[in-house]
Amino acid sequence: MSSTPSGADSHLAVPGFARTNSEISHRIKNQPGYTTPVFKGKEEQRALVQEEVAAKGFIPQELVANEVNWFYSNLGIDDTYFQNESREVICDHIIALFGAKILAYTQHDPSKLVIDLEKIDEKGNGATFIHTSPPGLTVTEGPGATCETRIDSLFLDKSTPSNAYRLETYRSAGSISVTASQQLRCYFINKCVFPNELQKDANGKTDIKSVSDKSFLEKATENTLEIYQQVMWSVEERYGPVIEVFEVEGSRERRLVIGYKMGGTSRFFSALSNLYHFYSLYSARKYVEQFSNGITIISLYLNPLPGTNAPPIEHSIFQVMKEASLLYCLPDNPFFLPKAPGTHAVQEATYACKLPLATI
C-alpha cells in the first residue's frame, strides 16, 4: 500500500485544490482481502451427505455419488457454506438441484437451469442464498431479483450494535454445468459475535480488533484490517459516509470501501448493485462488515464486464464513488429502480427525485 487509505493525506492537501483521481485512489497488492477458509471436515461431511442423499431415495442410486461430487467440487461453492450448514440442509439443496436439472431437461433448454437455494435460519442466526446470476446485470425476474433487497430489509437495515449481521457474497469461478455458462452467486449472512470490551489506544482511537466479529477476524488479512481500521477512524470523526477506492496492482480490478454509521441509511447495499451495473461493472466479492461500535463497512470488488462499450473502469469507478454518496442520501429512489423506464444515472435520478418537492 503506497499511501494511507484514510483522509489523512487529504487533510494535508491545499484547500481549494482538488485532488486528481490518481491521488484519491490507493494502490494495493493483488491479493484477496480475506483468506479463503478451508473447511477441514469437508471430505468427511461429503461421505455422510452422500449416504443421507442416497437414503432419501429421490435420486437414482447410481447417480448419487456424481451429484454430490458435482455439488461439492464443480459448482464453486465456498467452503463457508459447508462449514455453516447442517447436513440436512445440504442434502435438501442437492436434491432440489437435481430437481431443477430434471425440469431443465424436460424443457429441452439447458439455459433454463435455474438454481435457487435459500435457507433463512428461523432463530435469526443468519441466512444463505445461492442462485444463478448473470454478471453485471440487474435481474428483474427469477431468483436473484429480490434477493438483495430482501437481505437489506431482513438483515442489514435492522442491524444494531447488539444484533448485527455480516454478509459475504461471492460469484463462483466455474460454470454450473458443461452446457450452461451460468455462474452462481452465494450470499452468506451470519449474526455477528462481538468481543465484550471496546478498547481504545492511547490517542482515544478505537482498536478495530476489539470491535470486530469473530469470524471476520479469522478471515480478514492484515492488510484488510489496516484499511478497515483507517476507514473506521474516519467514520468516527465524520458524520457522513467515508468512501475510498483502491486499485489492485496488475489488474483492472478496483475495490470500493464504504464506511458509515450503522443505521445511517437503508436499502443501500442493493442500491449499490444497481449503481455499478449501470456502469457495466460486476463484482466478484462483496462484504458487509458490522462492528460493535456502531459502524458498518461495505467493500465491493469490482471488475469491468468484458465486451461492452461502457466507459473504462479506470474512469467509471470515480463516478461510482461519487454517485455512491448520492445513493447514501436517497437509496430508494423510484427513478433508479431496475423497473424504472429507460436508464437514469444516479445523479439524474436523484435530481428527478426532488421534483415533487420543488412543486411548492
Is 341 a binding residue for other proteins by CB under 8 A? The answer is no
Is 24 a binding residue for other proteins by CB under 8 A? The answer is yes
**Matching residue, cell 462481538:** 194
Write down the least CB distance from residue 323 to other proteins, Å.
8
* Pair type for strands 295-304 and 281-291: antiparallel
Write down the least CB distance from residue 321 to other proteins, Å.
8
Q: What are phi and psi of 355, to 5 degrees?
A: -50, -50
Is 360 a binding residue for other proteins by CB under 8 A? The answer is yes
Cβ atoms of 164 and 262 closer than 8 Å: yes
Is 347 a binding residue for other proteins by CB under 8 A? The answer is yes
Of the residues 54, 89, 330, 337, which one makes contact with other proteins according to CB under 8 A: 330
Binders of other proteins in range 286-315 (CB under 8 A): 311, 315
Of the residues 33, 331, 335, 336, which one makes contact with other proteins according to CB under 8 A: 331
Write down the least CB distance from residue 310 to other proteins, Å.
10
Write down the least CB distance from residue 166 to other proteins, Å.
22
Write down the least CB distance from residue 183 to other proteins, Å.
27
* Residue placing its CB nearer to other proteins in the complex, 83 or 266: 266
Is 55 a binding residue for other proteins by CB under 8 A? The answer is no
Write down the least CB distance from residue 260 to other proteins, Å.
9
Contact track, other proteins, 102-141, x by CB under 8 A: ----------------------------------------
Size of interface with other proteins, in residues (CB under 8 A): 48
* Residue placing its CB nearer to other proteins in the complex, 216 or 233: 233
What's the CA gap between 75 and 69, in Å, rounded?
9
Is 63 a binding residue for other proteins by CB under 8 A? The answer is no
Residue-wise DSSP of 194-256: --S---B-TTSPBPGGGTS-HHHHHHB-HHHHHHHHHHHHHHHH-SS-EEEEEEETTSS-EEE
* Segments of the chain assigned E as strands: 26-28, 116-120, 126-132, 165-171, 184-191, 242-248, 254-261, 281-291, 295-304
Question: Could you give the angle at the alpha carbon of 241 between the alpha carbons of 335 and 153, nearest 5°?
Answer: 55
Neighbouring-strand partners of residue 296 = 260, 290
What's the CA gap between 131 and 75, in Å, rounded?
11
Q: How far is CA 41 from the centre of its chain?
A: 26
Cβ atoms of 72 and 42 closer than 8 Å: yes
Write down the least CB distance from residue 244 to other proteins, Å.
9
Helix or strand holding residue 31 (H, E): none
* Residue placing its CB nearer to other proteins in the complex, 142 or 264: 264
**Which residues form the interface with other proteins (CB under 8 A)?**
7, 10-11, 13, 15-21, 24, 238-243, 263-266, 279, 311, 315-316, 318-319, 321-322, 325-326, 328-332, 345, 347, 350-351, 353-355, 357-360
